[in-house]
Amino acid sequence: MQNENLVQISFFNQLMLVHPRKKQNERSEASVQVSEYFVNAEGTGDKVNLSDLLGTVEKTSGASNKTKKQLRNLQSSKETLELPLNKQQTEKIQRGIAYEKTTAEVSCWKNIILQNQKAEQMVFPLNQESSGPKRVEQVVAGWKVQTPLEQEIFRLLHGSRQPVNDPVLTPVEEQSLKAMSLEEAKIRRAELQKARALQSYYEAKAKREKKIKSKKYHKVQNKAKRKDFLKQFDEMVKTNPEGALEELKKMELSRMEERMSLKHQNSGKWAKSKAIMAKYDDSARKAMQEQLQMNKDLTQKMVVPSDDEHESIEEGLETVPDFVNDPETVIDPVNPWMRGQLTHEEPEVSCVTAEEVQTAEEENEEEEIIGEFERKRKLRQADEEDLIPTEEERKKTQEEDEDEEEDVSEFNTLFRLMRSEKTREGSNQTRGGLNTAGEEDEEGLLSEGQIRVRSIEDLEVLDEVVEPRAIEEPSAPQTAAAEATSEPPHKKKREINLKEVLTKEAKAVRLPFLPTVVDEEERDEQISIIKEAFAGDDVISDFIKDKSRQEAAGRPAVVDLTLPGWGEWGGVGLKPPRWKRKRFRIKTAPPPPRQDQKLPDVIISEKRTASVASHQVSQLPFPFQNTAQFESSIRTPIGSTWNTQTVVKNMTKPKVVTKLGAIIEPMVKEDFIKSKTTAAGGKGAAIMLGENRRAKEGTKRTKILALTELPTA
């Protein structure tokens, strides 16, 4: 046998030599006989038996007794292992289990969903908390000490008499706080509105003026502006040196530009043409001269600010505002705006005479008002800023002194500005000193009730107010005249003279009392008379005929299907036989009894009104079982004609209310579970001090959307 094998293999090798491309890998299977030439496949069919292993286990000392025992048990047992279930079945079982789990998980939503379905109104987003800070009382209301640690803490707190609810605001306080803020907001809004309006007016005005093409106009305008500017600058030098410096810089810049450019050098096209004409034309000459003058003016060097001004600047940089040293005269203790000198200008405005109003204010009234608002706002801001830092400053060191200085200097400049304006406005009130402050205040107090006069129109109005009597007297004839005119135009034709009618007394009529009502029994004669009168038309019989006709029309007609001549003789005057009539005349069911069946003198139409039907409900809506239920459920009208306002609102409130702009997030499991637990625990919400519960717990969100993806086993 081995020889045979050998022969085979040698043959095989030869074959391999013939086809050397394929390379034979050496096989390394375990076999009893190992030969270097061939693979012995003798033991391949044999299985490794447990008994084989056991023998070696018994021999090896390393194996534990336990495993030995188990192996022995295995050997002795004759039961076969159960087949594992096939794939379909295992999957089915798994699905079943998964279904049960998910139903359990999802069914906890059932209640809340039902509840929301039933709810009269849903407000989204859910769990809205009132904005703004809460009172500690509110926060602590539902608090219960639960853990021993908490108990310990509270005991300690209580023992040390720590004020637990000290910083609590009373509701009144809270309200007042809110009210303040609201008021302020309103005022501010109103101011803003006004400012905006004025600005728009101003812009419109500027636009209009800009559009004007007249060169002369612009020239005049520019001149006036320049003059004005110079005047202002002079004042500014005194009052606001910094600003003046800036202005100066600007001027310098413009001078530089002028020197650089050829604008007014009489070298342009226009200037050359004018130069030709200058010989003959006086005006051309003048124009050229003007140009040159302009150039001169512009290129002139500005006067260097003197030492005094430097001083004034230094004064301006004082650390403390001037008026701080003034004795504060409290005018109105309640109103903060009445405190300090800053507010003095207001009463002054009211005192300005009409002429001044005309001249000074007409032009830059709007600017002033806008400026005023801005100033006020700045002041308020400054106030607020001041308030906050004062507290902080106590704690902090002197590092911030510089900043403070800046602040104060700002304040100073502002104050200066106000002052300057004051002087400009009220030229008659140059005193402005500290001594007269009291007087001014008095004036202010007095003039507070007066009407502010700002324009001529206002003045006119004032006049009217002053002299109402004078107008009233002539009013009577006027109204009379108006009456005369209000009468209709075709006066000639008029038949009714109302005045005559009304002034005349109506004649009193004495009533002779006949027996106006006669009993039914006494009327027999009358009946006979009437019968005579209406002998021709028998009303009653007519009516009866009419009624019978109507009834007949209402009855369903008999359907006659008899065909004459079938199965019998045909011809004129022959009636179909009885059997035929019985069989082929179809009677339909009689209609329900007429409404007027028992009313002999009434015909009620039995026609259905189809017009209303299109507006009626034709099918009974869902939860109702019969029409009576549904009809009674809608019997109460909703409209405000029949109901009080509250009821109408209640009845027509929307099913879902959403907050504008708020994100409506899907419901989270914790939301309702929490609410449930708290509802069980007692009233009031459990407190979560400053923490977002969702964020803290960090649990995954199970959304209602998951409902759609239920596995169905």
Partner 1 sequence: MAAVTPEVLTSTHVEKMKKKKLPKRYWEETEKTDQSQRRPEEEQGKAGQNQNKSTVKEKSLKRKNGESLEKKDPFPGEAPIPQKQLQKFQRGKKCKVPAGARERLKEAIAISEAMSEHAQKQAARYDLLLPEDAGFLEGDEDEDTNTISQADIADAVDITSGSKYFNLHLSQFGPYRLDYSRTGRNLLVGGKKGHVACIDWQTKDLKCEMNVMETVNDVNSLCTLRSASRWLHTEAMFAVAQKRWLYIYDSKGVELHCVKKFNDVLRMQFLPYHFLLATASATGFLQYLDVSIGKEVAAICTKMGRLDVMAQNPHNAVIHLGHPNGTVSLWSPNQKESLVKMLCHRGAVRSLAVDKTGTYMVTSGLDRKLKVYDIRAFKPLHSCFLPAGASCLSLSQRGLLSAATGEIVQVYQNVLGSNPVSKPYMAHRLRGQIWGLAYCPFEDVLGIGHGEGFTSMIVPGAGEPNFDALDTNPYRSHKQRQEWEVKALLEKVQPELIGLDPGQLSKVDQASFEQRHKEQIEALGFDPLAKDKFKPRTKKKGRSSAGAIEKRKRKVAHEDQRDEIRQSVQERTEREKELKEKSNEKKLGNKSTLDRFRK
The CA distance from 197 to 216, in Å, is 31
The CA distance from 382 to 187, in Å, is 17
Q: CB of 107: closest distance to partner 1 in angstroms?
A: 18
Q: Does 622 bind partner 1 (CB under 8 A)?
A: yes
**Window 179 to 208, contacts with partner 1 (CB under 8 A):** none
Closer Cβ to partner 1, 644 or 692, answer by number = 644
Closer Cβ to partner 1, 666 or 681, answer by number = 681
Q: Does 519 bind partner 1 (CB under 8 A)?
A: yes
Nearest to 603 by CA among 544, 540, 651: 544
Closer Cβ to partner 1, 144 or 227, answer by number = 144
Please give the size of the binding site for partner 1, defined by CB under 8 A: 99
Closer Cβ to partner 1, 94 or 528, answer by number = 528
**Window 441 to 470, contacts with partner 1 (CB under 8 A):** none
In which element (H, E) is residue 268 found?
none
Structure tokens at 218: 């612009």
Peptide bond into 125 cis (omega under 30): yes
Non-local (6+) Cβ contacts of 684 within 8 A are 141, 142, 678
Q: Does 508 bind partner 1 (CB under 8 A)?
A: yes
Q: Does 636 bind partner 1 (CB under 8 A)?
A: yes
Nearest to 659 by CA among 175, 123, 50: 123
Q: Does 39 bind partner 1 (CB under 8 A)?
A: no
Distances (CA, A) of 79 to 41, 76, 304, 357: 32, 9, 122, 120
Instruction: With beta carbons less than 8 A apart as the criterion, state whether 123 and 657 touch.
Output: yes
Instruction: With beta carbons less than 8 A apart as the criterion, state whether 292 and 266 touch.
Output: yes
Rg (CA), the chain: 56
Q: CB of 529: closest distance to partner 1 in angstroms?
A: 9
Structure tokens at 663: 């994100």
Q: 59, 510, 587, 655: which one contacts partner 1 (CB under 8 A)?
A: 510
Closer Cβ to partner 1, 261 or 629, answer by number = 629
Q: CB of 171: closest distance to partner 1 in angstroms?
A: 10
Q: 230, 324, 461, 599: which one contacts partner 1 (CB under 8 A)?
A: 599
Closer Cβ to partner 1, 153 or 253, answer by number = 153
- Binding map of partner 1 across residues 142-181, x = CB under 8 A, - = no contact: -xxx--x--x--xx--x-----xx----------------
Q: Which amino acid is at 266?
A: N
Structure tokens at 398: 């002197």
Half-sphere exposure (CA, 13 Å, Cβ side) for 504? 9
Q: Does 137 bind partner 1 (CB under 8 A)?
A: yes
Q: Does 533 bind partner 1 (CB under 8 A)?
A: yes
What burial letters (b/e) apply to 509-520, b meaning 16+ CB within 10 Å? eeeeeeeeeeee
Q: CB of 134: closest distance to partner 1 in angstroms?
A: 13
Q: Which stretch binds partner 1 (CB under 8 A): 195-203, 281-289, 420-428, 640-648?
A: 640-648
Say what angle helices 401-425 and 307-316 make with each other, to 10 degrees: 120
**Window 406 to 425, contacts with partner 1 (CB under 8 A):** none
The CA distance from 688 to 22, in Å, is 80
Instruction: With beta carbons less than 8 A apart as the criterion, state whether 460 and 354 touch.
Output: no
Q: Does 119 bind partner 1 (CB under 8 A)?
A: no
Phi and psi of 585, rounded to 5°? -100, 115
What burial letters (b/e) apply to 300-324, b meaning 16+ CB within 10 Å? eeeeeeeeebeebeeeeeeeebebe
Q: Does 524 bind partner 1 (CB under 8 A)?
A: no
Q: CB of 641: closest distance to partner 1 in angstroms?
A: 7
Q: CB of 480: closest distance to partner 1 in angstroms?
A: 14
Instruction: With beta carbons less than 8 A apart as the criterion, state whether 408 and 321 touch.
Output: yes
Q: Does 372 bind partner 1 (CB under 8 A)?
A: no
Nearest to 127 by CA among 707, 683, 669: 669
Q: Does 492 bind partner 1 (CB under 8 A)?
A: no
Q: 42, 385, 546, 568: which one contacts partner 1 (CB under 8 A)?
A: 546
Q: What 8-state DSSP symbol labels residue 429? A: -
Q: 641, 692, 708, 712: which one contacts partner 1 (CB under 8 A)?
A: 641
Q: Does 502 bind partner 1 (CB under 8 A)?
A: yes
Closer Cβ to partner 1, 566 or 624, answer by number = 624
Q: Which stretch binds partner 1 (CB under 8 A): 86-94, 247-255, 428-436, 494-502?
A: 494-502
- Binding map of partner 1 across residues 602-621, x = CB under 8 A, - = no contact: xxxx-xxxxxxxxxxxxxx-
Q: Which stretch binds partner 1 (CB under 8 A): 427-435, 595-603, 661-669, 695-703?
A: 595-603
Q: Does 525 bind partner 1 (CB under 8 A)?
A: no
Q: CB of 500: closest distance to partner 1 in angstroms?
A: 9
Closer Cβ to partner 1, 136 or 313, answer by number = 136
